[in-house]
Structure 1
Amino acid sequence: MILVTTDYIPGKQIKEYKGFVKGNTVQSKHIGKDFMAGLKTIVGGEIKGYTEMMEEARNIAIERMVEEARQMGANAIVGVKLATAAIMANTAEILAYGTAVVVEET
């Protein structure tokens, strides 16, 4: 599956537009990680537990978007974007979305 943030794929011709696709997940860390993150805010610096959580969430959201595109018969997704939102304290939603397309095979 080809994923691009642009509306086209250089060197490829879009043969068919399949439609909007998306994937999302809501993630949180367990209380132990939250406690350690709270301590980290006192001294500053990267909160690695949350960085890892967000990386995992992005991967899950992208995988879900790709699966939806595959089910539609697409072999690429153009205009890929990621959005995030806080759902409640210490949770985050990641949404991956784009347009599923069929591009020429090489």
Structure 2
Amino acid sequence: MLVVTTENITGYKVTEVKGEVFGLIVRSRGLGGNIMAGLRSLAGGEIHEYTKMLEDARQQAIDRLISNAESKGANAVVMMRFDSSEIGQNMSEVLAFGTAVVIEKE
């Protein structure tokens, strides 16, 4: 499955638009991770526990996006974007979304 952030894919043409697809995940750190991240935040700099959590969440959102596109019969997703937000004090939502399409080589 080809997933791109562009509207067009060089060397391919869109033959069918299947519609909007998305992959959503909500994650939270456990108590131990929150304590470690809180301690690291006192010193400043990158908080590796949260970076890892969000990297994993993005990958899972893309995996779900791909699954959603495949279920619609698509072989590519164009105009893929991410959105994220906080839910409450310790949860993060990550959304990957785009347009599922069928492409073929030109």
**If the TM-score is normalised by the length of the shorter chain, which range does it land in?**
over 0.9
Show the counterpart of 1:96: 96
Question: SS state of the match for residue 32, structure 1?
Answer: helix
Q: TM-score, normalised by structure 1?
A: 0.96
Show the counterpart of 2:26: 26
Q: Give the strand-richer structure, 1 or 2.
A: 2
Aligned residues: 106
Partner Cα separation in structure 2 for residue 105 and residue 92 of structure 1: 38
Q: Which runs of 4+ in 1 moved over 2 A?
A: none
Question: Which residue identity lines up with residue 44 of structure 1 in the other structure?
Answer: G
Question: C-alpha displacement at 1:45, in angstroms?
Answer: 1.2
Question: C-alpha displacement at 1:105, in angstroms?
Answer: 4.9
Structure 2: 5+ residue runs without aligned partners? none
**Pairing 1:55–2:49 present:** no
Deviations along 1:6-63, one digit per CA (max 9) or x if unpaired, are 1111110000000000010000111011001111111101111100100110011111
Partner Cα separation in structure 1 for residue 88 and residue 65 of structure 2: 23
Q: TM-score, normalised by structure 2?
A: 0.96
Structure 1: 5+ residue runs without aligned partners? none
| Coordinate RMSD, CA, aligned | 1.0
Question: C-alpha displacement at 1:85, in angstroms?
Answer: 0.3
Question: SS state of the match for residue 87, structure 2?
Answer: coil
| Percent of matched pairs sharing the same residue | 45
